Chains A and B, each alone.
Chain A
C-alpha cells in the first residue's frame, strides 16, 4: 500500500463532514516552499487550477523525488489536496509518483462534496506531477 492509498483509506473510513475536516488539516499542515524556489515561481504555475498554484519536483537520493506545492491560504480546498499530495509523495520513490491515480478526488472520497471544476484542476495537477516525475 502506498502512502497515498493509506491516506485515501483514512478519508474514506469517516463521514463526509469529517473528510472535509481532514482536508482542512492537510491544508493547514502544507509545508512552506523553500525561499530559493519562489524566485522563478511563475514558471511553475499550474494554469488549469482556478487558484494560483505552483509546483516543483526535484530529484533526491536513491531515485526519490522531492515535491513542493504553493497555494494561497484563501483557497483551503485546493490547499488541502496539495497537502495530501505533498504528504504522500514528498521524498517518495519515483514509482509512487508514476502510480498516482487519475481520480484522486474519488480516492479521497470527496467526489460528492467538491464541485466539478475542482475535478478538472485536480486532474491537471495530477497529470502535471506524473509528467514532471517521468
Chain B
C-alpha cells in the first residue's frame, strides 16, 4: 500500500490482510471493540478477541494488567515475541489503537492497525465467521512497562508548568466544560468540567475519513501542525476521559506523523477533573 506516513508499515490495508490472514504462524489478528459482544457476532476468521475491560484492565486497581498477566494473555493467543499483531475494531479503530498502545506499553515489537477497521472489512464483504480460532500456546517474554509512552498525573502537572503542549482529544463540549462526558455516553462521573490549562482541542475522530481509514499525511499535518502549531520535535501529552480516545491520537502523532515523544495520559479527565487542587481551565 502506497502511503507517505512516517512509518508506512504500521498500517495494513484490507486487501493485504485478506491475502495474508492465513499466515497464522507469523501473524495474529486481534479484534478489539467498544462492545464486548461484537466479535462474537462475527469476525475476521483468523482473529482472536482482546477486550479492553476483561483482558487489559486490572480488576481491582485502576491500572492495566501487569507484565506477567500480559505475557500470559499473549501466550494464550499464540502470540510470541516476534509475532506481527494486526489490530482492528469498531468505531474508527478507537479500541484497536487502545489495545495497540497497551501492547506497546509492554514492548511488543511488531504492532499494526488494519486501516478502516471492522467497518471497511465488512463494507467490502470480506470473510467473517462466528467460529473462534485457537492457536498453539506461545512463550511470551514478560517485560516491564515502557514509561516513555505513558504519562502520570504528576508528570502532566510538571509538563504544564514547563508550558509543554497537550492535546485534549475529547469533544468540544467536554473541552469547554459544558459537559463532563461524550454525548450519548453518560458515564464515569467527573466532579469538574473543563480542560487541563493550555491544552489544544483536537477531537480524536478528526483524524479519520468517513470510511474509518486514517486521513492522508497532508491532511493530518494540516490538522495538528498547521492549525494547532504542534511540531514533530515537541514533547506532547494526549488525554481524553479515560485514555482510550487519546491512544488513537497518540497512534496518529507517533506513527503517521513521526512525532518523537508522545505520551498518553490514561488517567485523563476522570482523574484530573476529580483530583483535589489541580488547575482547570474552562471555555472553548
Residues of A within 8 A of B187 (CB): 115-117, 120
- Which of B31-39, B229-237, B247-255 makes up part of the contact surface? B31-39
Q: How far is the CB of A76 from chain B (nearest CB, A)?
A: 4
Q: How far is the CB of B48 from chain A (nearest CB, A)?
A: 14
Q: How far is the CB of A114 from chain B (nearest CB, A)?
A: 7
Contact bitstring B28-70, A, C-beta under 8 A = 1, else 0: 0000000111101100000000000110000100000000000
Instruction: Indicate if the CB atoms of B54 and A116 lie closer than 8 Å.
Output: no
Instruction: Indicate if the CB atoms of A74 and B38 lie closer than 8 Å.
Output: yes
Q: Which residue of B lies closest to A49 (CB)?
A: B184
The answer, among A48, A76, A117, A121, for a CB contact under 8 Å with B38, is: A76
Measured CA separation A128–B184 after assembly (Å): 16
Instruction: Indicate if the CB atoms of B186 and A76 lie closer than 8 Å.
Output: no
Q: Which residue of B lies closest to A110 (CB)?
A: B36
Residues of A within 8 A of B53 (CB): 113-115
Q: Which residue of A lies closest to B188 (CB)?
A: A116
Q: Which residue of B lies closest to A115 (CB)?
A: B53
Question: How many positions in chain B have a CB within 8 Å of any CB in the partner chain?
Answer: 15
Q: Which residue of B lies closest to A112 (CB)?
A: B59
User: In residues 1-47 of chain A, which contact B (Cβ within 8 Å)?
Assistant: 20-21, 23-24, 27, 47
* A117-B40 contact, Cβ under 8 Å, with A74-B90, A76-B35, A112-B59: no
Contact bitstring B186-203, A, C-beta under 8 A = 1, else 0: 111000000000000000
A60 at the interface (CB under 8 A from B): no
Q: How far is the CB of A75 from chain B (nearest CB, A)?
A: 6
A109 at the interface (CB under 8 A from B): no
Residues of A within 8 A of B184 (CB): 47, 49-51
Measured CA separation A114–B185 after assembly (Å): 14
Instruction: Indicate if the CB atoms of B186 and A23 lie closer than 8 Å.
Output: no
The answer, among B36, B38, B59, for a CB contact under 8 Å with A114, is: B36
The answer, among B35, B54, B186, for a CB contact under 8 Å with A75, is: B35
B: which residues have CB within 8 A of A?
Answer: 35-38, 40-41, 53-54, 59, 90, 184-188
A: which residues have CB within 8 A of B?
Answer: 20-21, 23-24, 27, 47-51, 73-77, 80, 112-117, 120-121
